[in-house]
Structure 1
Amino acid sequence: LAAGDRIPFDALRDEPFIALPPEAGPAREFWLATDERQGDPVKLSNLLASRPEEFCLAVANGYGVCLTPESAHRFYPYPGVAYRPVDGIAPSLVSVVWRPDESEQIVNDFVDSCAELRQ
Structure 2
Amino acid sequence: MNLRSLRYFEALGTELNYRRAAEKLFITQPALSAAIQNLERVIGDRLFDRDTRSVSLTATGREWLPHVRSALAGVDAALEAVALLVDYGHVRLGYLIGTGADLLFQLLDGVETVFPDITVETIEYDFSDPTAGLASGATDIALLRPPVDVPDMQLAIVAEESWVACLPRSHRLAAREELRIEELLDEPIVVAPKSAGRWREYWYAADARGGKEPQIAAEAATYEAEATLVSRGVGLSFTTSSMVRLYDRPGIQFVPITDRPVSYTAIAWRPERLTTPARRLVEHMVSTSRPEPRD
In the alignment, structure 1 segments of 5+ residues that lack a partner are none
Which structure has more RCO (C-alpha within 8 Å, separation ≥ 6)?
1
Task: State the structure with more CA Rg.
Answer: 2
Aligned to 1:40: 212
Within 2, Cα distance between the matches of 1:104 and 1:40? 42
Task: Name the count of aligned residue pairs.
Answer: 114
SS state at 1:2 partner: coil
TM superposition score normalised by structure 2:
0.36
Aligned to 2:260: 89
Aligned to 2:197: 25
Greater strand proportion: 2
> What is the root-mean-square deviation of aligned Cα atoms in Å?
2.2
Equivalent AA in structure 2 for residue 44 of structure 1 = I
Between the two proteins, what is the percent identity of the paired residues? 29
SS state at 2:292 partner: helix
Greater helix proportion: 2
Specify whether residues 55 and 110 from structure 1 end up closer, same or farther in structure 2 by C-alpha distance, changes over 3 A only: same
Within 2, Cα distance between the matches of 1:63 and 1:10? 20
Specify whether residues 115 and 80 from structure 1 end up closer, same or farther in structure 2 by C-alpha distance, changes over 3 A only: same
Within 2, Cα distance between the matches of 1:93 and 1:104? 19
1:35-114 alignment, distance < 5 Å: 35-45=207-217, 47-97=218-268, 99-102=278-281, 107=285, 109-111=287-289, 113-114=290-291
**Deviation at residue 103 of structure 1 after TM alignment:** 8.8
Within 2, Cα distance between the matches of 1:87 and 1:115? 24
The answer on whether the counterparts of 2:186 and 2:215 sit within 8 Å (CA) in structure 1 is yes
The answer on whether the counterparts of 1:18 and 1:55 sit within 8 Å (CA) in structure 2 is yes
**Deviation at residue 41 of structure 1 after TM alignment:** 1.9
